[in-house]
Amino acid sequence: MSYNFKNINISKISVIGAGQIGPDIALHFAKSLSPYGVSVIVVDISPQALEKAKEKAHKKINKGVEAGAFKPEQAERIKNALIFSADYEQVRGSQLVIEAATEDENIKDKIFRQVETLTDDTCIYLSNSSHMQPEVIFRNIKNKSRCLVAHYFFPAEINPVVELVPGKDTETKLLNLLLSFYEAIGKVPIKVKSSYGYAIDPIFEGICQTAIMCYEKGWGSEKEIDAAAVKALGQGVGPFTALNLTGGNPITAHGLDEMGKLLMPWFKTPAALHEKNQKKENWVIAQRGEKVELSPEKEEKLVNEFRGAFFALATFILDIGIVDINDLNMACEMSLVIKAPFTFMNKLGIDKSYDLVKNFCTSHPSFPFPKVLEKAKAEGGWKLLDIVASKHEDVLLITIRRPKVLNALNLEVLGQIKNAMEEVKDDNSIKSVVITGFGTKAFVSGADINMLASLKTPAEGYNNSRTFQAVVDYVENYAKPVVCAMNGFAFGGGNELAMACTARICKKGLPVLVCQPEVNLGFIPGAGGTQRLPRIVGVEKAAEILRTARSVSSKEAAEIGLVYKEAEGDLVDEAVKLAKQIASGEVKVKTVPKEPISTNGNPKPIEIGHLSKKIDEIIVKAIYEGSRLTLKEGLDLESRMFGECLNTEDMKIGLENFKTNGPKMKANFIHK
């Protein structure tokens, strides 16, 4: 057995290094690829390290069973896929080798020269270096076109971000293939040009340097500085805690000195960090549950310093031109569990952010003021996108990319989709459009719940619905065919967007593809769900799906005509092919009727269980009265009915229950 992806066929992966991160990288590969029979070999010269790594991996797998993440048979399959060995011969026949050894260029060079004798010329070589450029690591490899850095973040089996750093000889096709491969196995890869430390570590280690410098200046204790950093930057844990958790003192000390030589002189290992390394001591941090109090004056001083440093570091990385702003913004938030820097600056105000950086650079003269920040201030803020638009011959591909919230929609994202389509509306070289989502789990997980919870009056609800509908209508009435490639589940607004497309295709075999869960939360669909679903699958079938909020599998969706077909091959390739066929007239698809549709009279009784009877009355009216109207009139009715939900107690109850308890807890509706 093997995992077939595009033009690679993987049956064996080798991970070299059983230390801090190698076993976690191997565990992620085993979790993702063991269903395909892929073997994952962990090789190390130390039997003790291998035994410890095996114990650690099995412990994590067992915890996954206890937490319900894996079934026992899945856990056994993952364990069986992992092989721990001191014999380098086990590497022979691997299609992919990832080195995760000590951050020493001579050790890495020795490993890859040995691996080169055991693998053929098609084997892909990756290094999980955290700092070194691929040109240094792979300097003695004959075929450098298949070599690059894949930098994981702690903990590697959970943290989604991977920086992919090609060398000057890396084949572009391979880089693009690996970007898609990592996405397919559940990671969030970003492309970074070769530079010491890449894009994320200079920011993380720069924050750590800032924390230690504050400590050396006597601005607070380690505990106080940690607490201030968490407050200033929205970090999951403070910098001192992060260094302790990752065992990061030695590598950070080395990295800072090297960045001082190779990036800018501000980077420098503080004396206190050298001392901790020499004594092999951890930082003094707050214990679980311990509350750290700071005086307002101390807190303000530290918060301003951390924000100035964070914004300066993020804009410095943009200044050196190694990464896209949207990639950096997203990857910082997800890899470091910190506020997305450019979104944060916009929210705080670009003028205030500018002043924080100006003050920081003034008090740190070796830190040059970032040029890109001058431009952002002049333009009134950072221009950020949650979509990626690219051209595939004569097809525009739009990918909704908000992995942290499973591609949830808000008005800003919808506006970006519309703008991307508007830009090519009159471009004769573009014949059609494909819309898809990032990753493998969700096309769109629904509408942003915080946006919905902010609505207070029926008028606000009506206007919100109409605004959503305007963009969805734009997609439906676009002059060129629009195909939706449903790469995962489409909930709520995601399905409403999909239904407005000319045609929909989905991955085959999804147990849950579509759901309109709104009645679970105490309101009704507001972006066309009550009007388009009946026109696509019939009123009675649509009413049953909408009123019960039950899910629809990919198989059922194909059977009832909600999707054109289930795709067995590469979904985007299939969608592009279908879009071309529709544009050329080779394939005709049924579109949503604009005129009134016939109904079977009165609504059939449906068991709605715990759901709100009041909301059910509203959604029944929207479905059945709307079916007797034109689509345009029905959409306006839906918006009015959506606004009416804001007069109910049950919408407040449903939203509060979701925010407090999550989607699995049933709301206690009072039917008012």
Contacts of 146 by beta carbon, 8 Å cutoff, 6+ apart: 121, 122, 123, 124, 125, 170, 171, 174
* 600 has a pLDDT exceeding 80: no
> Encoding tokens for residue 4?
């077939």
Catalytic residue among 518, 566, 638, 644: 518
Residue 162 lies in a domain: yes
Mean pLDDT of 88-115: 96
Domain extent, residue 579, equals 387-661
Going by pLDDT thresholds of 50, 70 and 90, the confidence category of residue 659 is confident
* 449 has a pLDDT exceeding 90: no
Catalytic residue among 496, 574, 638, 644: 496
Query: How many Å separate Cα 166 from the centre of its chain?
Result: 21
Residue 668 lies in a domain: no
Going by pLDDT thresholds of 50, 70 and 90, the confidence category of residue 565 is very high
Highest mean pLDDT among 188-202, 280-294, 589-603: 188-202
Contacts of 597 by beta carbon, 8 Å cutoff, 6+ apart: 534, 535, 539, 627
In a shared domain, residues 450 and 497:
yes
Residue-level pLDDT at 497 = 97
**Alpha carbons 170 and 166: distance in angstroms, whole number:** 5
Mean pLDDT of 576-585: 97
Tell me whether residue 580 is exposed, middle or buried, using C-beta atoms within 10 angstroms of its C-beta: 0 to 12, 13 to 18, 19 or more: buried
Going by pLDDT thresholds of 50, 70 and 90, the confidence category of residue 278 is very high
Of the listed ranges 5-14, 93-102, 301-310, 600-609, the least confidently predicted one is: 600-609
* 605 has a pLDDT exceeding 90: no
Domain boundary among 140, 167, 191: 191
Going by pLDDT thresholds of 50, 70 and 90, the confidence category of residue 450 is confident
In a shared domain, residues 649 and 544:
yes
163 is catalytic: no
Instruction: Write out pLDDT tens, residues 335-382.
Output: 999 999 999 999 999 999 999 999 999 999 999 999 999 999 999 999
Percent with pLDDT over 70 in the chain? 100
In a shared domain, residues 358 and 425:
no
In a shared domain, residues 502 and 360:
no
* 112 has a pLDDT exceeding 90: yes
- Overall number of domains in the chain: 3
Domain boundary among 141, 160, 191: 191
Domain boundary among 345, 360, 378: 378
Beta partners for 594?
Answer: none
pTM to 2 decimal places: 0.93
586 is catalytic: no
Task: Give me the CATH number covering residue 366.
Answer: 1.10.1040.50
Q: Give the H/E segment covering residue 372.
A: helix 371-378
In a shared domain, residues 241 and 97:
no
Q: Answer for the pair 641, 531: CB distance below 8 angstroms, yes or no.
A: no
Mean pLDDT of 424-430: 96
Task: Give me the CATH number covering residue 448.
Answer: 3.90.226.10
In a shared domain, residues 354 and 391:
no
Going by pLDDT thresholds of 50, 70 and 90, the confidence category of residue 599 is low
In a shared domain, residues 476 and 545:
yes
Going by pLDDT thresholds of 50, 70 and 90, the confidence category of residue 662 is confident
**Alpha carbons 645 and 643: distance in angstroms, whole number:** 5
- Beta strands 161-166; 147-152: pairing state: antiparallel
In a shared domain, residues 352 and 209:
yes
In a shared domain, residues 359 and 466:
no
Residue 669 lies in a domain: no
Task: Give me the CATH number covering residue 186.
Answer: 3.40.50.720
Residue-level pLDDT at 447 = 81
Mean pLDDT of 262-278: 96
* 601 has a pLDDT exceeding 80: no
Residue-level pLDDT at 180 = 96
Mean pLDDT of 394-402: 97
* 451 has a pLDDT exceeding 90: no
Residue 667 lies in a domain: no
Mean pLDDT of 312-335: 98
Percent with pLDDT over 90 in the chain? 93
Instruction: Write out pLDDT tens, residues 25-73.
Output: 999 999 999 999 999 999 999 999 999 999 999 999 999 999 998 899 9
In a shared domain, residues 501 and 532:
yes
Residue 333 lies in a domain: yes
Going by pLDDT thresholds of 50, 70 and 90, the confidence category of residue 664 is confident
In a shared domain, residues 306 and 410:
no
Average pLDDT, the chain: 95
Task: Spell out the SS3 assignment of 521-553.
Answer: HCCCCCCCHHHHHHHHHCHHHHHHHHHHCCCEC
Dihedral sign of CA atoms 389, 391, 394, 399 in order: negative
Going by pLDDT thresholds of 50, 70 and 90, the confidence category of residue 421 is very high
Mean pLDDT of 189-217: 98
In a shared domain, residues 357 and 252:
yes
Opening angle at CA 197, ends 193 and 203, nearest 5: 105
Q: Measuring CA to CA, which residue among 191, 200, 192, 189 is closest to residue 438?
A: 189
* 598 has a pLDDT exceeding 80: no
